């Protein structure tokens, strides 16, 4: 069993929650795997894990699947028929009170809302109040260990070096019809050499493509990187080690000379929004208040709005960072959702405001770890557009 049980119970005891019930069916709920601490192959029927606020956790698994769990898994209660499953659920759960599940009222947090409405109805029919497990998940599964922090810092250092190497490589090879995809391949090659892995990416976006926040340069049809222009690179990866933590950064560069007046103006707005959000986060924690995710988003969005670019900041400020690049903790988001989870000690987030005009876009992304002494930017924060010499 994973080391999530103790933290989950610690949180639930302070929050007045009697237990955490997480359910998976055909790998539709990754939170179940995170709570269990291991991926179990070939589960074909619904499987339930109940972690009480006090006491030992219990697994409910179908007869055909029960033998697939490792020896250190919680005690398994088997079921065959639906009637037996319901009886085992009633036996495991309390008679009343609050139980947390992967449920998000009004679908406020899609990352949390993993359980279907029928399952919620079923558990409520037992006389139980179902509450969101979002805070339980964050506290139990998304706080970094010291070893994980070190893995993240190593990845962040490598990414910063790679993005600069990529910009320089673009400048050195711009005469040879280097495409966005070619440069992405260069970055992936550097990942391999430095022992980094990733799920996808990177974003390598020239001129108008930089106005697309998730542009993915295709092998055929990518733009040729010209001697004068604007280049955005967003890259994310983690060490190729068990339980390592992702780093995720975005930098921008001007090729063949300084940025245009408009490019510099937008860069300054984005950088100021990034720094304002970080300062708000730090000041809040220093005053003894861990702000909610939406509040940090609002601090950055106000800067962009006051500069006249509100309509061009089209995504949330940042996301949870962990074993997945988009993890299950708090997002800095009051735009796409309204994340009311607190930015608690031990978690990592990105801060990445962006402004995307029709002809170019700017995003500046840093990673932040909430240490016992307050938030820390774990890598280098870009202060000026990187200048690429193409002479």
CATH no., domain 5-141: 3.40.350.10
Give the model's pLDDT for residue 1. 53
> Cα-atom radius of gyration of the chain, to the nearest Å?
23
pLDDT in tens, 189-219: 999 999 999 999 999 999 999 999 999 999 9
Q: Whats the size of the chain, residue-wise?
A: 391
Domain-by-domain residue ranges, the chain?
5-141, 146-388
Taking CA atoms, 16 is separated from 10, 52, 104, 129, 374, in Å, by 10, 11, 18, 12, 27
Multiple choice CATH, 146-388, 3.90.230.10, 3.30.300.30, 3.90.550.60, 3.30.70.100: 3.90.230.10
Cα–Cα nearest to 22, from 63, 64, 82, 74: 74
pLDDT in tens, 2-54: 689 999 999 999 999 999 999 999 999 999 999 998 999 999 999 999 999 99
Query: Would you state the torsion angle of the CA atoms of residues 11, 14, 15, 16, taken in this order, to the nearest 10 degrees?
Result: 120
* Structure tokens given for 33: 């795997």
Task: Identify the burial level of 163 via C-beta atoms within 10 angstroms of its C-beta, where 0-12 means exposed, 13-18 middle and 19 or more buried.
Answer: buried
Give the model's pLDDT for residue 391. 84
Collect the ranges in the chain with pLDDT lower than 70.
1-2
* pTM for the predicted model, two decimal places: 0.95
């Amino acid at each position: 069993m994973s080391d999530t049980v103790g933290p989950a119970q610690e949180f639930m005891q302070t929050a007045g929650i009697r237990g955490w019930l997480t359910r998976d069916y055909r790998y539709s709920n990754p939170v179940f795997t995170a709570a269990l601490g291991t991926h179990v192959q070939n589960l074909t029927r619904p499987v339930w894990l109940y972690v009480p606020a006090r006491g030992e956790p219990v697994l409910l698994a179908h007869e055909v699947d029960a033998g697939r769990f490792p020896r250190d898994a919680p005690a398994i209660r088997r079921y065959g028929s639906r009637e037996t499953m319901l009886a085992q659920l009633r036996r495991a759960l309390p008679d009343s009170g609050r139980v947390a599940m992967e449920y998000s009222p009004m679908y406020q947090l899609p990352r949390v809302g993993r359980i279907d409405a029928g399952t919620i109805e079923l558990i409520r029919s037992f006389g139980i109040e179902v509450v969101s497990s979002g805070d339980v998940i964050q506290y139990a599964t998304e706080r970094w260990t010291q070893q994980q922090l070190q893995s993240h810092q190593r990845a962040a250092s490598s990414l910063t070096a790679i993005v600069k190497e990529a910009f320089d490589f673009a400048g050195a090879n711009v005469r040879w019809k280097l495409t966005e995809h070619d440069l992405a391949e260069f970055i992936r090659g550097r990942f391999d050499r430095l022992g980094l892995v990733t799920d996808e990416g990177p974003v390598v976006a020239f001129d108008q493509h930089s106005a697309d926040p998730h542009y993915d340069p295709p092998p055929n049809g990518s733009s040729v990187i010209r001697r004068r222009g604007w280049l955005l690179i967003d890259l994310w990866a983690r060490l190729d080690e068990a339980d390592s933590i992702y780093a995720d950064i975005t930098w921008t560069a001007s090729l063949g000379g300084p940025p245009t007046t408009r490019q510099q103006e937008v860069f300054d707005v984005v950088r100021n929004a990034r720094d304002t959000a970080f300062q708000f986060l730090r000041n809040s924690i220093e005053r003894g208040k861990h702000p909610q995710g939406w509040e940090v988003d609002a601090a950055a969005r106000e800067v962009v709005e006051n500069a006249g670019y509100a309509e061009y900041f089209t995504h949330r400020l940042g996301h949870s960072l962990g074993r997945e690049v988009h993890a299950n903790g708090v997002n800095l988001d009051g735009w796409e959702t309204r994340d009311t989870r607190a930015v608690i000690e031990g978690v990592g987030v990105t801060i990445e405001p962006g402004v995307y005009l029709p002809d170019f876009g700017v995003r500046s992304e840093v990673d932040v770890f909430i240490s016992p002494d307050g938030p820390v930017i774990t890598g280098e924060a870009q202060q000026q557009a990187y200048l690429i010499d193409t002479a």
